[in-house]
């Protein structure tokens, strides 16, 4: 590995150990559910899922699973249930 990359790799390792440096502002993920595959996204401070339950209720298990999975790097409002 080039010497310039060694320092970058070490810095990346340190950054990865400090997840509070990162806040996801938007992303999309393919989610393999029990009955079908869905796309879950977070953009413009809003969640969306292609599952039928989300379209009826504005929330779903797929979205909640990603909130738990990414709790350390999502903005606080993205993991706080809206009331």
CB 55, CB 45: distance < 8 Å? no
Give me the pLDDT at residue 61, please. Answer: 96
Phi, psi of 37, deg, nearest 5: -100, 140
Given this model, what pLDDT does residue 81 score? 66
Sign (positive/negative) of CA torsion 68, 70, 73, 79? negative
pLDDT at position 74: 86
The rounded distance, in Å, linking the Cα atoms of 79 and 36 is: 24
Residues of the chain where predicted confidence (pLDDT) is lower than 50: 83
Taking the C-alpha atoms of residue 60 and residue 53, their distance in angstroms, rounded to an integer, is 6
pLDDT at 83 (0 to 100):
43
**Confidence (pTM):** 0.78
| pLDDT for the residue numbered 19 | 84
């Amino acid at each position: 590995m080039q010497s310039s990359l060694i320092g970058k790799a070490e810095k990346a390792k340190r950054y990865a150990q400090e997840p509070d440096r990162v806040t996801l502002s938007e992303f999309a993920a393919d989610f393999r559910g029990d009955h079908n595959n869905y796309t879950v996204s977070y953009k413009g401070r809003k969640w969306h899922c292609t599952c039928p339950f989300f379209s009826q209720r504005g929330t779903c298990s797929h979205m909640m699973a990603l909130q738990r999975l990414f709790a350390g790097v999502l903005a606080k409002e993205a993991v706080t249930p809206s009331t």
